[in-house]
Amino acid sequence: MPENAYPSFCPVAMAAKVLEPRWTMLVLCEMWSGSTRFNEIQRGVPGMSPGLLSKRLKSMEAMGLVQRRNQAACGHAEYVTTPRADELEPIVQTLGEWAHRNVEQDVSLEYLDARVLMWNIRRKIKRSELPIDKCVIQFTLHNLPDETVNYWIVIKPGIETDLCYVNPGLNVDLFVISQLRALTSAWMGHTSFEHELADETITLVGHSGLARTMTKWLVKSSFANRSDVTT
């Protein structure tokens, strides 16, 4: 038997063969979060090249995890998870919860990715908690020692919350100025937004209602656990 081969009769080995190819679980997580189009999935997993994502989707389709649907009306293909893949969702969620509890905070925050963070923040905005139904929120993130990036979340009634990587030219209602590590840590539940605001690693400037209610409309990661929070 080749050194890198698993014993094929072992069910755990069979599961590993399906899930171990790099990015597979992250692609599934992005699809479980609602992304169906190729570009949407890639925005949620920006470390993948388009070529690799295309290859991985084809292999996942061959394994019965993903189904490709051609939408004739709009000319776009959509990818959806199959019932076989959906059985894996609570298992992958539990795996993430285990890692969140057991991997050291410094290790989990070693490799930060502003795009992944902002893509996930965008979809976790709780619009019912916003004091105004139309707003633009600019995030200015400092990744020490010298990198600064800007993102704009645009919220309009009847339209899905949008994330812009370039200035959309709209009036900004709230500026969120933060160290990337601080925002990531608070969103993941390693610390709290209240803690980071008190330490001034996160600063809010602009609409007082948006600033006052930020901890209500900016919903943390599903892996965040209040019992793990540093105060």
- Residue 2: its pLDDT value, please? 52
Contact (CB, 8 A) for 79 and 56: no
Going 127 to 109 to 81 to 10, the CA torsion angle's sign is negative
- Residue 9: its pLDDT value, please? 67
Assigned CATH class of 107-228 = alpha beta
- Residue 227: its pLDDT value, please? 44
pLDDT string in tens for the chain (231-residue length): 455 565 666 777 778 878 887 889 999 999 998 899 999 899 888 788 999 999 999 999 999 999 998 876 666 789 999 999 999 999 998 988 888 888 777 766 777 889 989 998 998 899 999 999 999 999 999 987 778 999 999 999 999 999 999 999 999 999 999 999 999 999 988 888 999 999 999 999 999 999 999 999 999 888 886 444 444
Task: Tell me the whole-structure pTM to 2 decimals.
Answer: 0.78
The alpha-helical segments, DSSP class H, found in the chain are 11-19, 24-32, 38-44, 50-62, 83-86, 89-102, 105-108, 114-124, 180-188, 193-198, 208-212, 214-217
Token representation of residue 151: 């993102």
Write the DSSP assignment of 185-207 as a string of letters: HHHHTSS-HHHHHHTTSEEEEE-
- Residue 146: its pLDDT value, please? 75
- Residue 21: its pLDDT value, please? 78
Domain positions in the chain are 11-102, 107-228
Q: What is the rounded CA–CA span in Å between residue 113 and residue 123?
A: 16
* Residues 210-215: contacts with CB under 8 Å, at least 24 apart: 210/130, 210/131, 210/132, 210/135, 210/137, 210/173, 210/174, 211/174, 212/131, 213/129, 213/130, 213/131, 214/176
Instruction: Go through the chain and tell me how many residues it has.
Output: 231
- Residue 229: its pLDDT value, please? 47
- Residue 230: its pLDDT value, please? 47
- Residue 52: its pLDDT value, please? 93
- Residue 231: its pLDDT value, please? 44
Contact (CB, 8 A) for 137 and 174: yes
The yes or no reply on domain 11-102 and CATH 1.10.10.10 is: yes
